[in-house]
Amino acid sequence: MERTGVGIIGCGNVSDIYIRNLTTLFPQTDIIACASRHRKSAREAARRYGILACSVDELLQNPEIQLILNLTTPDAHYEITRRALLAGKHVYSEKPICLETEQAKELQLLAEKQGVRLGCAPDTVLGGAVQTSRQLLDSGIIGKPLSAHVFFGWHGPEHEHPNPEFLYQYGAGPVFDYGPYYFTALVTLFGPADSVTAMAGKGFERRTCTCPGPHVNESFEVGTPTHVTGVLKFQSGVLVTVTISFDIWGHGHPFIEIYGTEGTLRAPDPDGFGGEIEVLKAGEENFNKVPVNFAYTENNRGIGLAEMAQSIEQNKPHRAADTVAVHVLEIMHAFLDSSTLKRTVTLTTTCERPAPMERRGL
């Protein structure tokens, strides 16, 4: 197998797990260089992993690099991805693909024009838990899916992230920060969505960073809704009640619970690759655990990029595709737009349901 040369732009918190996994678990890739607007971060990453630190321009001009991993902050995703596509590079971006749906569509067209691939996180949906849940649904274990309930709630990243302010501004918040995991999982399970009816609010006007680091005890203004709830209707007819919040100290809800004509399935948090799956069949009183029987149940971030590199070599569609990412981006905007407009928002984008993974993995 020919290895794909990878260049990383953005050397923040998430870059470590990507680099570790891509250099130890996935032989499809060869990380050559890294760049960051903070040159010190790039130099430190380069020293830790034995790769080259350089400027963004140098990285984009390097002929050994075929694929760019865009790990910049969300507000920079569009510009960095656009520059990389114009340089003739394939791009795999952290979520979301960018901040605006029209810009995302523009990137899709540019990738097609340039004859390169565009992919996007999250790749947790390629992990064992979501893939096993999908296989169970497709097997008819709970009959025809009719509805579902999705719940994500905690009291925000200021307790864990050393610089959390940007996570409370436009383009982040619970919908754009955690929504991609849940909505991408739902598209993987049910296919494309049709419309959204939702409401949103803000529990606190200001937040204080309590994570040790340079910004500990600093307060900042909250610039985006932090509690969003609504109903997402899928083209298949499945109705999903969704709550995503940074205003909750604790709760007892399952992350994803799916109700079918012949039973109920509980799936774990799609922010991870593994977890427990439970099924209650019609006529039974108790849920029973179902073993995860697909590969990748640890923190395997990077699998989406590796699968994309492999798919490029094999000339077949990649699973963490731009079409899914653009559709999910529009879904997230629709939750906020529906609240602002006080009406149902009909989606204009769609996508193919990604192909299932092989049980043994790549």
pLDDT digits (tens, 9 = 90+) for 162-180: 989 999 999 899 999 999 9
Of 97, 120, 143, which marks where a domain is finished? 120
Q: Looking at the structure, tell me whether residues 287 and 168 fall in a common domain.
A: yes
**Exposed / middle / buried, residue 129 (Cβ in 10 Å: 0-12, 13-18, 19+):** buried
Q: Looking at the structure, tell me whether residues 112 and 214 fall in a common domain.
A: no
Q: Looking at the structure, tell me whether residues 249 and 335 fall in a common domain.
A: yes
C-alpha torsion sign, points 262, 268, 272, 276: negative
Asked if residue 351 is part of any domain, the answer here is no
Q: Looking at the structure, tell me whether residues 105 and 151 fall in a common domain.
A: no
Q: Looking at the structure, tell me whether residues 71 and 28 fall in a common domain.
A: yes
The domain tally of the chain equals: 2
Q: What is the pLDDT of residue 38?
A: 85
Q: How far apart are CA 350 and CA 234, in angstroms?
A: 11
CATH number of the structural domain spanning residue 141? 3.30.360.10
Q: Looking at the structure, tell me whether residues 169 and 88 fall in a common domain.
A: no
Mean pLDDT of 178-191: 98
Asked if residue 299 is part of any domain, the answer here is no
| Structural domain boundaries, residue 31 | 4-120
Q: Looking at the structure, tell me whether residues 165 and 86 fall in a common domain.
A: no
* Cβ proximity of 132 and 267 under 8 Å: no
Asked if residue 310 is part of any domain, the answer here is no
pLDDT at 196 over 90: yes
Q: Looking at the structure, tell me whether residues 163 and 76 fall in a common domain.
A: no
* Cβ proximity of 53 and 39 under 8 Å: yes
Confidence of residue 45 (pLDDT cuts 50, 70, 90): very high
Q: Looking at the structure, tell me whether residues 102 and 163 fall in a common domain.
A: no
Asked if residue 334 is part of any domain, the answer here is yes
Helices 303-314 and 15-24, axial angle in degrees (round to 10): 50
Q: Which helix (H) or strand (E) holds 233?
A: strand 227-234
Could you report the per-residue pLDDT of 124-144, keeping only the tens digit for each?
999 999 999 999 999 999 999
CATH number of the structural domain spanning residue 102? 3.40.50.720
Q: What is the pLDDT of residue 249?
A: 96
Q: How far apart are CA 173 and CA 154, in angstroms?
A: 12
pLDDT at 1 over 80: no
Of 120, 152, 173, which marks where a domain is finished? 120
DSSP string, 159-181: GT-SS-GGGGSTT-HHHHHTHHH
Distance from the Cα of residue 98 to its chain's centroid: 12
* Cβ proximity of 207 and 222 under 8 Å: yes
Q: What is the DSSP-derived secondary structure letter of residue 249?
A: S
Asked if residue 303 is part of any domain, the answer here is no
For 48, other C-beta atoms within 10 Å of its C-beta total 13
Q: Looking at the structure, tell me whether residues 100 and 116 fall in a common domain.
A: yes
Mean pLDDT of 291-320: 97
The residues, ordered by sequence, that sit 6+ positions from 49 with a Cβ below 8 Å of its Cβ are: 19, 23, 31
- What is the rounded (10 degree) CA torsion for 275, 332, 72, 12? -40
Could you report the per-residue pLDDT of 266-280, keeping only the tens digit for each?
999 999 999 999 999
Q: How far apart are CA 224 and CA 332, in angstroms?
A: 13
pLDDT at 257 over 90: yes
Q: Looking at the structure, tell me whether residues 100 and 139 fall in a common domain.
A: no
Of 79, 101, 120, which marks where a domain is finished? 120
Q: How far apart are CA 155 and CA 152, in angstroms?
A: 10
Q: Looking at the structure, tell me whether residues 182 and 86 fall in a common domain.
A: no
101-110, 122-131, 156-165, 255-264, range with the lowest pLDDT: 156-165
Asked if residue 324 is part of any domain, the answer here is no
Could you report the per-residue pLDDT of 317-343, keeping only the tens digit for each?
999 999 999 999 999 999 999 999 999
The residues, ordered by sequence, that sit 6+ positions from 78 with a Cβ below 8 Å of its Cβ are: 98, 99, 100, 103, 104, 107
Confidence of residue 10 (pLDDT cuts 50, 70, 90): very high
Q: What is the pLDDT of residue 200?
A: 98
Confidence of residue 2 (pLDDT cuts 50, 70, 90): confident
Asked if residue 188 is part of any domain, the answer here is yes
Q: What is the pLDDT of residue 227?
A: 98
Asked if residue 101 is part of any domain, the answer here is yes
**Exposed / middle / buried, residue 10 (Cβ in 10 Å: 0-12, 13-18, 19+):** buried
Q: What is the pLDDT of residue 262?
A: 98
Smallest CA-to-CA distance from 205 within 189, 185, 219 is with 219
Smallest CA-to-CA distance from 31 within 62, 72, 55 is with 62
Q: How far apart are CA 244 and CA 178, in angstroms?
A: 8
